[in-house]
Structure 1
């Protein structure tokens, strides 16, 4: 009897500690932002390690990725340290890192305050899916449903989504493919391809809304023409212009055109989906501001990455034997495409100022 009593006592402590955890997090965050969790969907800018166990070239679970994380251990994040969603949950006072849903170490308690479903290489156009082997957006939504069922089954919680911040970020990979592989360019003009991507984005948002999402931030495109890899290609194609590694202006104009269309779509969602709050997450301006005025923001190098030459290295070509810059905090980009931890923090700080006021009650 004493043994049974001890077991019951320990179970009671565990049960009530979970209940207290739930209520205390809800209280703390409701008093600040009324956001109790963050769920992320999209590409490598939001992937905190979901690709680690996939057979794909889009992986960052090897050194030197993660060099500036605690323990200097690569985590699948495409950076030297934290990425944007990690800073978002930290700024909200929820937790220090946003874990990957497919991380075997993720617990049901982790799910309560949010996870990332994003997959590096993912886009809004599934055309390259079979080659890249990313997790499709539709599959990310399936994982989200599975996640919510786990939360409901374990804790009986049904309002997690209503008080959660939903971040959707995709489209950049599609445009890289459009410019660099030229396959879609045979079928679509830039403008019509933008329309295709946004047509594919609409049912994703509609599905999230049906699942209860009410605070949704949608990321626009960055200044794609200023990404180091695009600078390099822009300098050598179609007519070599080396060593001119300036931004590809036309690609930046295209990014702005897409972002304008996205903002129009967001306005339509606001008008047609009652009870939901939407925000356009501007990535373009914060990055461009740093590129044009690096010293103002504490950066020294904005035209190439910290890893290797900084022009082509990414994923499996950014490895432990690749020369690395001594201080990544002075670089805007970590590899040829992805921002450093410092760059991600600047983006997150900007989103805190521009996005959260549109979503909080």
Structure 2
């Protein structure tokens, strides 16, 4: 009788252990020790807060749904994709900004973001907005490595970097600002400008690889023609009826052409880099699916942001004087460019379902 009771208790303990085991997406299964992010406002958690630029989000209503309802500098009502992914992988609750004075050397061991809102692969884009260039971001990463070595030593830092996930998102500001809106780079064809951007990206990825990065994810362009600010601009063009809010098809096709070239570049680099994993992150199709099938995701507003009129407000134009929607989760976009936290959650879910297994050792 006692033996049967002991066996029963053992089985109960065993199945309880199985039940409470962490999900397969945590650090132990993905073997990702840290996340380091680079690029523009999509990944910027507040680096611009300490820069002399108007491209900032450290004011309300930004952050209204962030823990503590604090405007941290994230261009969102809540968390960015990098925050959500870091949490789901069991690395940390949020991915801090490198330039945040509260970030310690120890914090760097699990990753930070060097991204800067308003930046781009074209150095001119960042300089026009007085924000961090991609080269600046790389220099800060080099500085971070030295700070990390003070905590755990060079050998351990090398191991951490090799196991870390490096994420890059840039290019949208370049095509929207320096090609579509301003004539800055119009001496190039659009295809030529895409090549120019991808050459810059290739140099950046090469530098990351030389610095030890082995797991690199590069996000493609979103459907640029569906960004609320682009919809607004294009609604006044002669080919459209006044105030008609629809996606600009040609700009979406342009984004697809860029993404096709980007995927070819990543395939070529993957074949070149020994022991590395370079992955293209598709943002275009998941986001377009949300726009084309909003009810499937619980959305009812697709062509305007939650902040203000949702047509042009972003950065300094989205401020405490602007009314915001009652329920941001019903909106794909928070302001005229940036996704809501709910949209970011959908994007991370797609990343986990389609790409995460490729990064597992």
> Do the structures match in fold with TM over 0.5?
yes
Question: Contact between 1:222 and 1:284, CA under 8 Å: does it hold in 2?
Answer: yes
Q: Distance in 1 between matches of 2:238 and 2:176?
A: 16
Cα deviation code 1:121-148 (max 9, x no counterpart):
0000112333211101011011111111
Q: Secondary structure at 1:251's aligned position in 2? A: helix
**Structure 2 SS opposite 1:120:** coil
Map of 2:285 onto structure 1: 285
Paired position in structure 2 for 1:112: 109
Is 1:154–2:151 an aligned residue pair? yes
Q: How does 1:278-317 map to 2 (within 5 A)?
A: 278-317=278-317
* Mapped contact 1:278–1:358 kept (Cα < 8 A): no
Residues of 2 paired with 1:155 and 1:74: CA distance?
A: 33
Segments of 5+ residues of structure 1 without an aligned counterpart are 1-27
Q: Show the 5 A alignment for 1:117-196.
A: 117-156=114-153, 157-158=156-157, 159-177=159-177, 178-185=179-186, 187-196=187-196
Alpha-carbon contact 2:306-2:325 (below 8 Å) kept: yes
Q: What CA deviation, in whole Å up to 9, does each residue of 1:7-43 have, x standing for no partner?
A: xxxxxxxxxxxxxxxxxxxxx9552101010000000
Structure 2's unaligned 5+ residue stretches are 1-24
For residues 98-157 of structure 1, the C-alpha deviation after alignment (integer angstroms, 9 at most, x for no partner) is 000000111122111100000000000112333211101011011111111111112112
Note the C-alpha offset of 1:354.
1.8
- Residues in 2 aligned to 1:240 and 1:57: alpha-carbon distance in whole angstroms: 32
SS of the residue corresponding to residue 160 of structure 2 reads coil
Task: Report SS of the residue matched to 1:236.
Answer: coil
Alignment of 1:40-55 (within 5 A): 40-55=37-52
Are the equivalent residues in 1 in contact too, given 2:26–2:88 (CA < 8 A)?
A: no
- Deviation at 1:305? 0.2
Count of matched residue pairs: 333
CA distance in 2, matches of 1:120, 1:91: 24
Counterpart of 2:263 in structure 1 is 263
Moved segments of 4+, more than 2 Å: 28-31, 128-131, 237-241
